[in-house]
Amino acid sequence: MTAEKDLRVLLSNLRPELRPGRYVYATAPDGVLPGAVAPVVTVRETEGLTLVLPEAEAAAAGLPYTYAAGWITLRVHSALEAVGLTAAVSLALTDAGISCNVVAGFHHDHLFVPYERAAEAVTVLERLAAESHTG
């Protein structure tokens, strides 16, 4: 499947999917990944290694963590050079008062939103997609 660049097509085909579970942000001590965890996202920063992982894994590994999140995958295959998708999604969630941390994967964009508002965030994104079909 070819990655999509056209913003209107991207928005009308978002197909947000809420993955099960609670995900949290943690940091790995000394930048070393504990062997007992399998993070879904890692980011190496000057200050250390950021991990996004299931809450149960962080707790079991004794990692301090914050920001319990729901993980939403936008099922549209977005091109990495596409312009405006992150801005449009962020604006829709901003208008609903929902914070969002975006991670771009090779095939899809992934959103980490407050766990208790994750279902609401999916509804907001589905509405954005529907409006893009008619707009």
Gap between the Cα atoms of 28 and 129, Å rounded: 37
- Sorted by where each begins, the domain ranges of the chain are 7-134
Q: What is the CATH number of domain 7-134?
A: 3.30.2130.10
Q: What mean pLDDT is predicted for residues 25-40?
A: 89
- pLDDT tens per residue across span 60-105: 999 999 999 999 999 999 999 999 999 999 999 999 999 999 999 9
Cα–Cα–Cα angle for 113, 103, 15, nearest 5°?
70
Comparison of pLDDT for 128 and 46, the residue scoring more: 128
Gap between the Cα atoms of 37 and 61, Å rounded: 7
Distance from the Cα of residue 72 to its chain's centroid: 5
pLDDT band of residue 29 (cuts 50, 70, 90) is confident
Gap between the Cα atoms of 52 and 131, Å rounded: 31
Q: Average pLDDT over the chain, rounded to whole?
A: 94
